Amino acid sequence: MDRPDRRIGRRLAIAAIALLGLAVIGWSLLPNGKLARVERRSDCHDPAALPKVETLADGRKAMRLRVLLWNVEGLPWPIRRERGPKLAAIANWIAARRKAGLGPDILILHKAFIPEASRIPIAAGFASVVPGPALGAKRSLPSATPPADYADGAHGWKGEGIGKWLDGGLYVATDLPVASAAREAFGADSCAGYDCLSNKGAEWLALQLPGAPEPLYLFNTHRNSREPSKVAIARAEASHILQTRENDAFLAGLPVSAAMIAAGDFNNYRAGDKSGRFAADTAFRLAAKGAGFAARPAPMTDAAAWTQAYDLLGFSSSDGLTVEPLAVATLFDGKNGPRLSDHAAQYVIFRIGWRGDAKPMPTTLKTCPA
- Average pLDDT on 108-122 reads 96
Task: Say which range, 27-31, 49-53, 138-142, 150-154, has the weakest mean pLDDT.
Answer: 27-31
d(CA 58, CA 183): 38
| Residue 77 pLDDT exceeds 50 | yes
- The confidence score (pLDDT) of residue 91 equals 98
Residues 52 and 17 both lie in one domain: no
Residues 131 and 254 both lie in one domain: yes
Of all residues in the chain, the percent with pLDDT exceeding 70 is: 90
Domain of residue 21 covers 1-30
CATH of the domain at 273: 3.60.10.10
Residues 224 and 320 both lie in one domain: yes
Task: Say which range, 89-98, 136-145, 220-229, has the weakest mean pLDDT.
Answer: 220-229
Residues 215 and 277 both lie in one domain: yes
DSSP bridge partners of 298: 286
d(CA 192, CA 158): 9
CB 183 within 8 A of CB 133: yes
- The confidence score (pLDDT) of residue 285 equals 96
Residues 7 and 49 both lie in one domain: no
- Report the number of distinct structural domains present in the chain: 2
Instruction: Tell me the pTM.
Output: 0.90
| Closest by Cα among 144, 151, 150 to 244 | 144
Q: How far apart, in Å, are the Cα atoms of 167 and each of 32, 36, 81?
A: 10, 9, 19
pLDDT band for position 80 (50/70/90)? confident
Total number of residues shown for the chain: 370
pLDDT digits (tens, 9 = 90+) for 116-145: 999 999 999 999 999 999 999 999 999 999
- The confidence score (pLDDT) of residue 310 equals 81
- The confidence score (pLDDT) of residue 243 equals 95
Residues 16 and 38 both lie in one domain: no
Residues 231 and 277 both lie in one domain: yes
Q: What is the mean pLDDT of the chain?
A: 89
Residues 15 and 153 both lie in one domain: no
- The confidence score (pLDDT) of residue 29 equals 41
pLDDT digits (tens, 9 = 90+) for 48-67: 889 999 999 999 999 999 99
Residues 20 and 135 both lie in one domain: no
- The confidence score (pLDDT) of residue 12 equals 60
- Average pLDDT on 209-214 reads 95
pLDDT band for position 162 (50/70/90)? confident
Residues 197 and 238 both lie in one domain: yes
pLDDT band for position 27 (50/70/90)? very low
Residues 309 and 252 both lie in one domain: yes
pLDDT digits (tens, 9 = 90+) for 293-348: 999 999 999 999 998 888 899 999 999 999 999 999 999 999 999 999 999 999 99
Residues 313 and 173 both lie in one domain: yes
- The confidence score (pLDDT) of residue 17 equals 61
Q: How far apart, in Å, are the Cα atoms of 142 and each of 16, 131, 191, 250, 279?
A: 43, 22, 15, 10, 22
- The confidence score (pLDDT) of residue 15 equals 55
Q: How far apart, in Å, are the Cα atoms of 198 and each of 189, 240, 295?
A: 12, 15, 33
pLDDT band for position 14 (50/70/90)? low
Q: Which residue has better confidence, 101 or 266?
A: 101
| Residue 84 pLDDT exceeds 60 | yes
